[in-house]
Homo-oligomer: A and B are copies of this chain.
Amino acid sequence: MAVRYRIGEFAELSGVSTKTLRFYDEIGLLRPAAVDPRTRYRLYLPQQLEELASILALKDVGASLTEVRNLTNKAGSNQERREILGELKKEVEQSIQMATQSLKWIDATLNELDDSERPIAVVVKRRPAVLVASIRSRVQSYPEIERFEQELLSELPVQSMGDLRGVLWHSCADSGFLEGEPFVALKQRVPSRSVYDLKHLPPATLACAYSGLDFDSAERSYAAIRRWMAIRGYRVAGPKRELYLDGFLEIQFPMRSA
């Protein structure tokens, strides 16, 4: 008579719980070799220990149960298996990359905590193209750009202006001169005038952080974004954006992977 294990013994021999075995039965991943028709007890064969071991080994390397099913599927060819394992490999490589970056971020944040500065959060956002009116101009100092903002706002009909306002910085003090471009999003078509330009902010992926209106606060956020991008290996791709919110700024760096 063939050896058969009931679920409890099979569970002990294999090292998984009975609940897991019932679950694997339910989802068709590991069906018991037989079921007693009267008691409905599940009966497993010794050979199924090996089958289960294959499943567990795959699960341990990060495969989902669905992937495991496809990999242990007897009908599958080795070619298919190679493809699935290739996918899995990519996933695992990605997760290592992301975890490595997380580690760097955590270490950096721990350092910031030691300095008793509150850490500055950086998040990624995607933004679609936006129609704006703007005035581009070279200035000597940051506050000086305000004059052009006033000019822009006064030239535009109030009801056509959207909520989105800010400044594009094409270059900063580091590069020897300062070039800013105040802009306002438009809800409606407006007459073209020589005093302002009509253009689209291009769609972009942005690294964003918030700051107060003062120079020091903004500088800290700029630095935080730069560090964040350096850790991830991103590079700046276009003019930085400063959005006016209610008493503070959202600073956005357009970026692409280096």
The answer on a CB contact under 8 Å between A106 and B89 is: yes
A234 touches B (CB below 8 Å) = no
Q: A49-B210, A248-B47 are in contact. Are A125 and B15 (CB under 8 A)?
A: yes
Q: Contact check, A85 vs B106: say whether CB atoms are below 8 A apart.
A: yes
The answer to whether the Cβ of A158 comes within 8 Å of any Cβ in the partner chain is no
B245 touches A126 (CB 8 A): no
A258, CB-defined interface residue at 8 Å: no
Task: State which of B50, B102, B123, B247 has its C-beta within 8 Å of the C-beta of A62.
Answer: B102
CB atoms of A103 and B92 under 8 A apart: yes
Residues on A lying within 8 angstroms of B by beta carbon are 2-3, 14-15, 45-47, 49-50, 53-54, 56-58, 60-62, 78, 81-82, 85-86, 88-89, 92-93, 95-96, 99-103, 105-107, 109-110, 113, 116, 119, 121-126, 208-210, 245-248, 250
A-B contact sample (18 more), CB < 8 A, given A15-B123, A50-B121, A57-B105: A3-B246, A45-B246, A46-B247, A49-B250, A56-B123, A58-B121, A60-B102, A60-B123, A61-B101, A61-B102, A81-B113, A82-B113, A85-B113, A92-B103, A95-B95, A95-B99, A96-B96, A99-B99
